[in-house]
Amino acid sequence: MSFELIKPNSNYNFIGNRYIAFAVSGFLILASIISIIYHKGLNLGVDFKGGLLVQFELTENPGVEALRQSFAEAGFAISSLQNFGESGSEFLVNVSEGPLAEGQLLSQAAVSFLTGTYGEGKVEIKRTEMVGPKIGQDLRQKALYAIYYSILIIIIYISGRFEQKWGISAIFVAVLLGIIYLVSLFGVGVGILIVVALIVTLITCYVLKFSFALGSIIALIHDVIITTGIFSILNKEITLSFVAAILTIIGYSLNDSIIVFDRIRENTRKTRKGDYASVINKSINETLSRTVLTSGTTLMALFSLYFLGGPVNRDFALALLIGLTVGTLSSIFLASPILLLWEKKKPAKA
């Protein structure tokens, strides 16, 4: 007797419960936005903010607040200081500026301060990383562009594959890139530019009736916002590893959506008559076993990476855990129900 996690003829009413899913997603997005505003922006790491990152371990743990006060009394400006690792006496500090002797680097000043304050044999410097403010700003801009351009490529692929609109989607993306370039000449910030471009993209997809592309893009934006928001709630640092995790989440979530969309297209061709919502619900149920098994095995690997991969990989694994969980749910409860927006506008058939 074989064990089946999900019955082949399952008929869960995902479409009927879509408004509950919309409410939960709306709450998570609102909480994410409130957290980012409360923290006055994201907790950017040294990769994007610039400055010095020092990871060190002390034989005696003075506490985070005592360490913070010691750095301040010595004249160092630190943006963040937190425990790192499992020992409890290992710390990670971001230093933006400090007292420098003639010809001395910031990293040398920070190491000299730690060894002079706590003793040569009582502090172990595990790593130091220095990033200039110009490099940090450039990396921040390229990270935003990477995320946005990946979404534009998705528009071409989804519209061409499911709606046979390769030419229109390619022209649309080319025009949008031209608009972004022209607007950037006026010195608009990259963050504002990307937000405006995303809004224009969503509106244009709606007007051109790129229903599959619109569903995919809304689901991807939903996944990115919630993952970033949870990192903000937990006050985790946003680093290049986090950007790599976001791009991985976009690809994985898109793959889930494509599987469901492909089944919806097949069932629509087979079922010329009937309710479109029933066709979508049937398609989700038919791909449910594949979705759960694929996501489940991936999450098992990520849990192993999170708990056994060491502190360096923990934030990367956490971002993937959050993003893949949210992405799997959004492909079922968000991307597919959006297809109903156009179906409701069609005149009823005699």
Listing DSSP states for 328-340 in one string gives: HHHIIIIITGGGH
Same domain assignment for residues 270 and 312: yes
CATH number at residue 239: 1.20.1640.10
Same domain assignment for residues 191 and 122: no
Same domain assignment for residues 123 and 257: no
- Mention every residue, 6+ apart, whose C-beta is less than 8 A from residue 131: 46, 47, 49, 50, 51, 53, 139
Check: CB of residue 54 under 8 Å from CB of residue 84: no
Q: Would you state the structure tokens that stand for residue 173, as one six-digit string?
A: 């993306």
Phi, psi of 201, deg, nearest 5: -60, -45
Same domain assignment for residues 114 and 210: no
Domain boundary among 83, 111, 131: 131
Same domain assignment for residues 116 and 243: no
Same domain assignment for residues 216 and 307: yes
CB neighbours (10 Å) of residue 77?
Answer: 12
Same domain assignment for residues 88 and 149: no
- Give the integer Cα–Cα distance in Å for 187 and 168: 30
- Mention every residue, 6+ apart, whose C-beta is less than 8 A from residue 133: 49, 50, 51
First to last CA, the chain: 48
The alpha carbon torsion through 20, 24, 26, 32 (nearest 10 deg) reads 180
User: What is the per-residue burial (b if ≥16 Cβ within 10 Å, else e) of 144-171?
Assistant: beebbeebbebbbbbbbbbbebeeebee
Domain of residue 71, residue span: 51-131
- Give the integer Cα–Cα distance in Å for 107 and 128: 7
The pLDDT value given to residue 1: 43
Same domain assignment for residues 115 and 214: no
Q: Would you state the structure tokens that stand for residue 70, as one six-digit string?
A: 């010691």
- Give the integer Cα–Cα distance in Å for 210 and 205: 5
- Give the integer Cα–Cα distance in Å for 257 and 219: 9
CATH number at residue 72: 3.30.70.100
Domain boundary among 111, 131, 151: 131
- Give the integer Cα–Cα distance in Å for 267 and 197: 34
- Give the integer Cα–Cα distance in Å for 310 and 124: 18
Residue 64: inside a domain:
yes
Domain boundary among 131, 160, 180: 131
Same domain assignment for residues 120 and 165: no
Same domain assignment for residues 26 and 168: yes
3-state secondary structure of 93: strand
Helices (H), 17-165: 18-38, 46-49, 64-73, 106-118, 133-163
Domain count, the chain: 2
Q: Would you state the structure tokens that stand for residue 314, as one six-digit string?
A: 């923990």
- Give the integer Cα–Cα distance in Å for 321 and 337: 24
Q: What is the DSSP letter of 238?
A: B
In order along its 350 residues, the chain shows pLDDT tens digits of 445 566 767 788 888 888 898 999 999 999 999 999 998 888 887 777 777 888 888 888 888 888 888 888 888 887 778 777 666 678 888 887 777 766 677 788 888 888 888 877 788 888 887 777 666 677 777 877 787 788 778 878 887 777 777 788 778 778 777 877 777 777 667 677 777 778 888 888 888 888 888 888 899 899 999 999 999 999 888 888 888 899 899 888 888 888 888 888 888 888 766 688 888 888 898 888 888 888 889 999 999 998 887 777 888 999 999 999 999 999 888 888 888 876 655 444 43
How are strands ordered across the β-sheet holding 123-131? 77-83, 90-97, 51-58, 123-131
- Mention every residue, 6+ apart, whose C-beta is less than 8 A from residue 232: 32, 35, 36, 39, 42, 43
- Give the integer Cα–Cα distance in Å for 180 and 184: 6
Same domain assignment for residues 22 and 74: no
Prediction pTM value:
0.81
Q: Would you state the structure tokens that stand for residue 89, as one six-digit string?
A: 């006496």
> Shortest CA distance to 252 belongs to which of 170, 320, 344?
320
CB neighbours (10 Å) of residue 269?
Answer: 8
- Give the integer Cα–Cα distance in Å for 78 and 96: 6
